[in-house]
Homo-oligomer: A and B are copies of this chain.
Amino acid sequence: MRQISAPAKRRLVLLERLLSNCTEQHITSQKIQEATGWSAAVVRRDISLLELHSGASNGYPVEELRECIRSTLNLSLQEQKCCIVGLGRMGQAILGTTELENSNYKMVAGFDSNVNRTEVLKSNFPLHPTTRLEYVIRSEGIEYAILAVEKQEAQSIASRLCECGVKGIVNYTSCMLTVPSTTKVENVSLLTALETLSAQNAEI
């Protein structure tokens, strides 16, 4: 067997985040159950798909497990290039984030259709007018985009991003994007997240 289902992949990504803050040397499926709420059986099944085979009578070695998740799920590739499109309030907050330091993701470009912003804002990487989107993404080989534009622009920018081969979009807008199956979308808008929480709490 060597086929990791989508739900298992999502859990493994979160497990890797959990392990990154873990101070113990070893961790058992039981401990992971307590921390995450997933059953110990599902945890063991997920991890077995990684073909780690070093879990023993004292549980999984934390660092080894973490490294195994990272390599299997392509979380350890060197320098995956990202860009941010839309430099309004949200985009500016992301510009200055330190969250990607020490990660494999590197922000290499920002875009906004308002040239005033691209000229005035300060950042560690170049800011361009949105007209240069295709050129910069192709020449830099950017694989991931963070979408933080106004609602009205969201779908058209998303389509342009897909067109130039971006593999994934982190969608900070509350619009549902239509994209080809070659591009993946993660919806992280505040409104969508709140509505998802409400829906989960609705007992039906």
User: What is A's interface to B at a CB cutoff of 8 Å?
Assistant: 2-4, 6, 9-10, 12-18, 21, 34-37, 49, 72-75, 77, 80, 82, 89-90, 92-94, 96-97, 99-100, 103, 105, 144, 146, 151, 167-170, 174-176, 178-179, 181, 184, 186-202, 204
Cα of A134 to Cα of B99 in the assembled complex, Å = 28
B13→A192 contact, CB < 8 A: yes
Cα of A176 to Cα of B37 in the assembled complex, Å = 11
Chain copies in complex: 2
Shortest CB distance A176–B (Å)? 4
With A90-B93, A144-B194, A204-B2 as contacts: A12 and B199 at CB distance below 8 Å: yes
Given A73-B198, A100-B190: 7 more A-B contacts, CB < 8 Å: A9-B196, A14-B176, A17-B195, A100-B191, A168-B194, A186-B193, A188-B189
With A105-B191, A194-B144 as contacts: A202 and B97 at CB distance below 8 Å: no
